[in-house]
Structure 1
């Protein structure tokens, strides 16, 4: 599905952390540095079919973390393989694909001016840290803004639904004042873990700032988002343990015909959260503006297919218990 949309460098950096990420070792094996296993061949064939010409851009990004457009990357890959063959013959030994790539891009084409040797695991760690909040391990505010902008842009262009939850710990200042900031940090950590457990695998859980969390729900309309919000609310209140009960208030909103940027959706969810606070806290409040737009006729997916594509995530959780709002 990713290949139907414009990709950002953030998309490419996030792909480094995926379970099926294209590793340097796998790219090297594809180039002949070692034999490919049967499973690796299947994986590469599927990825090439799914990604099309972007597959060659992926090869270079895995080795250099620099983006090369698909229209140029395929020819460049063949040139690198020829360069690798020439170097190996001249040195009478196999020159690894990474070495041949860096030499070609540095000394032949000049596309890389100052390459640096860094272990792949270190890159993964750096990328992961750049996206994460240090206390809770959730995604941070910068990642939230980037991902929200991407999801809302997809809604505006293709009509793909997206919803947002804003979650605030009730009376958190009193917790810090009465029990100290260490206890406050512990509660933030516990609630962050509870949030991750209650959300779906496809959702993006973030620490928005201070005692506020946010959850981006891609391909999700208001009816489904409200059920997920009810489950998240119950989980976060139930999971909290310590010297006092801690509750949360939740505001939920979905993109609608008035949505022009991700900030519009944030304002809607914030307004719903404010209403939850006004009505007594410890509750879920749904945005009163919900004039959603049907998917664009040119979209490669209709709304039914989009919702079915995430059915396995939703079915993993029972319906939340009925509650009075």
Structure 2
């Protein structure tokens, strides 16, 4: 709901006049349905109406504005028409009062944002999360949620004081805001916990973004009161519909994966795994051929697989490949039949000169998506 309120406030602040503002509200109604009318009254009048009542009242407010404009011979302000309607025709505004716009916007800001980091607050996140889950289920799209927890943050507070801790939280919030995409929603969930909502993002791409944030925090140098120090974060990822389709379940899974990351040494990101037996990996020591996709002159590398599971393969190679790269791995399957896997590089570790362990994650859905994009590019170039 608060995501709609934010859109309404933004529309009011950027519209040239009330007519344009009303057009933008109509567009929101077209995109999100009758719940928008409820948000309009919550945002502009501070009252909470049932959905059907809000939709009916909104039509009457617009009609009241037309009536008043015709009687007075000039355009009547939307807020004037809303106040007149609610005051005279309903019981919802018995004692109206004027509020200066800066005060109104400050109240709206404080209800949506965390005062320390400038990220959204938990209340806003919870409502926006429920709304985005509904959209994901309605349109059958992916959605991922990331929990981030600052490692050993209590030590910072206990040793150097809460002011130093607040500076650290503010800077981590800025790193998250800078690194995330425009479509992602970042919030401070409480204390040293942050949460990132990633619409239209399946688990592999969510992992790549999450690890990028982790790396940015790791390399950042924190300074406060002549003290210089470094921090790391641990995170847990869960995805809809892969892991769950309800907000509470998805958050619990992301939180559980965060504990897994803490337990595995901190400064890492873990994907939620409901049943480890489903992710059984077996040793597979045999030659593989690796080729990065998207480049006509891409070099093919000869490597050696080490293990394979339902969701990924680990292979050794003498050349590093960038995290996030789409690659195809050719391996000999049963009865010597070639098996072609398409996926995304999610991890790379160096074990000495020209010796790298490379983890590639794949899913059948993602393989289909990447292959379709690759074929489309061939068709475009050949046309």
What TM-score do you get using the length of structure 1 for normalisation?
0.71
Decide whether aligned partners of structure 1 residues 50 and 235 sit closer, same or farther in structure 2, where only a CA change above 3 A counts.
Answer: same
**RMSD, aligned α-carbons:** 3.5
- Picking from 267, 273, 276, the partner of 1:288 is 273
- Picking from 150, 161, 164, the partner of 1:183 is 164
- Per the TM alignment, residue 195 of structure 1 is displaced from its structure 2 partner at its CA by 0.8
- Picking from 25, 30, 54, the partner of 1:69 is 54
User: Structure 2: how far apart are the matches of 1:274 and 1:96?
Assistant: 53
Secondary structure class of the residue paired with 1:282: coil
1:294 alignment counterpart: none
1:214 alignment counterpart: 195
- Per the TM alignment, residue 151 of structure 1 is displaced from its structure 2 partner at its CA by 2.4
1:226 maps onto 2:211 in alignment: no
User: Structure 1: how far apart are the matches of 2:256 and 2:40?
Assistant: 44
- Per the TM alignment, residue 265 of structure 1 is displaced from its structure 2 partner at its CA by 0.7
For the 8 Å contact 1:251–1:274, the answer to whether it is kept is: yes
1:26 maps onto 2:17 in alignment: yes
User: Structure 2: how far apart are the matches of 1:251 and 1:59?
Assistant: 32
User: Structure 1: how far apart are the matches of 2:79 and 2:229?
Assistant: 56
User: Structure 1: how far apart are the matches of 2:109 and 2:263?
Assistant: 37
User: Structure 2: how far apart are the matches of 1:65 and 1:182?
Assistant: 35
Question: Which consecutive unaligned segments of at least 5 residues does structure 1 have?
Answer: 1-7, 31-39, 292-317
User: Structure 1: how far apart are the matches of 2:27 and 2:114?
Assistant: 35
User: Structure 1: how far apart are the matches of 2:273 and 2:35?
Assistant: 44
1:151 alignment counterpart: 132
- Picking from 241, 244, 262, the partner of 2:247 is 262
For the 8 Å contact 2:29–2:37, the answer to whether it is kept is: no
- Per the TM alignment, residue 187 of structure 1 is displaced from its structure 2 partner at its CA by 0.7
Decide whether aligned partners of structure 1 residues 55 and 152 sit closer, same or farther in structure 2, where only a CA change above 3 A counts.
Answer: closer
Decide whether aligned partners of structure 1 residues 131 and 104 sit closer, same or farther in structure 2, where only a CA change above 3 A counts.
Answer: closer
1:132 alignment counterpart: 113
More strand by share: 2
Decide whether aligned partners of structure 1 residues 109 and 250 sit closer, same or farther in structure 2, where only a CA change above 3 A counts.
Answer: closer
For the 8 Å contact 1:84–1:97, the answer to whether it is kept is: no
User: Structure 2: how far apart are the matches of 1:50 and 1:104?
Assistant: 22
* Matched pairs, number: 273
Decide whether aligned partners of structure 1 residues 120 and 272 sit closer, same or farther in structure 2, where only a CA change above 3 A counts.
Answer: same
Q: 1:85-109 CA distances to partner (integer Å, 9 max, x unpaired)?
A: 33x37xxx88655434423431355
Decide whether aligned partners of structure 1 residues 55 and 157 sit closer, same or farther in structure 2, where only a CA change above 3 A counts.
Answer: closer
More helix by share: 1
Secondary structure class of the residue paired with 1:69: helix
User: Structure 2: how far apart are the matches of 1:115 and 1:134?
Assistant: 29
- Per the TM alignment, residue 163 of structure 1 is displaced from its structure 2 partner at its CA by 0.8
1:306 alignment counterpart: none
User: Structure 2: how far apart are the matches of 1:60 and 1:213?
Assistant: 29
1:174 alignment counterpart: 155
For the 8 Å contact 1:84–1:100, the answer to whether it is kept is: no
1:297 alignment counterpart: none
Decide whether aligned partners of structure 1 residues 246 and 59 sit closer, same or farther in structure 2, where only a CA change above 3 A counts.
Answer: closer
What TM-score do you get using the length of structure 2 for normalisation?
0.61
- Per the TM alignment, residue 71 of structure 1 is displaced from its structure 2 partner at its CA by 4.3
1:117-128 equivalence runs, <5 A? 117-128=98-109
For the 8 Å contact 1:204–1:216, the answer to whether it is kept is: yes
1:103 maps onto 2:88 in alignment: no
Decide whether aligned partners of structure 1 residues 225 and 64 sit closer, same or farther in structure 2, where only a CA change above 3 A counts.
Answer: same
For the 8 Å contact 1:80–1:104, the answer to whether it is kept is: no
Which structure is higher in RCO with an 8 Å CA cutoff and minimum separation 6? 1
1:85 maps onto 2:76 in alignment: no
Bigger Cα displacement from structure 2, 195-204 vs 240-249: 240-249
- Per the TM alignment, residue 64 of structure 1 is displaced from its structure 2 partner at its CA by 3.4
Larger Rg: 2
